[in-house]
């Protein structure tokens, strides 16, 4: 087994890493806020959130705030767990690469 096997491929990507990091510490974040924090285009953000959603690492909630449609993202328990494991693997790799 290689050293990097516990590093989650889904989190190899900076944008997805950013999304997860943000969702780890914020109960909910909406589309535009994520877009602004990460400085990405709509389509790009949408495809990365979808990737994380397919893995059931995040979930989506749509609602109207006043008159405007609003989409919020949440991290799931599975996502939280996977992310923690990834961070642990990262720390391990960096501190302990034999």
Residue 78 contact, options a copy of itself, DNA, none, Cβ 5-8 Å cut-off depending on partner type: none
Instruction: Tell me: does residue 27 bind a copy of itself (CB under 8 A).
Output: no
Helix (H, G, I), strand (E, B) or coil at 62: strand
Instruction: Tell me: does residue 56 bind DNA (CB under 7 A).
Output: no
**Nearest CA among 35, 13, 34 for reference residue 23:** 34
39 sits in the region (left: phi over 0; alpha: psi -120 to 50; else beta) called: left
* CB of residue 17 to DNA, shortest distance in Å: 10
Of the listed pieces 17-25, 28-36, 74-82, 88-96, which binds DNA according to CB under 7 A? 28-36
């Amino acid at each position: 087994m290689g050293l990097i096997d516990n590093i989650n491929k889904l989190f190899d990507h900076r944008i997805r890493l950013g999304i997860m990091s943000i969702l780890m510490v914020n109960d909910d974040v909406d589309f535009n806020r994520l877009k602004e924090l990460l400085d990405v285009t709509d389509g790009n953000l949408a495809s990365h959130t979808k990737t994380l959603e397919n893995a059931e690492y995040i979930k989506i909630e749509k609602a109207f705030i006043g008159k405007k449609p609003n989409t919020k993202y949440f991290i799931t328990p599975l996502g939280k767990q996977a992310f923690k494991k990834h961070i642990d693997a990262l720390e391990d790799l960096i501190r302990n690469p034999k």
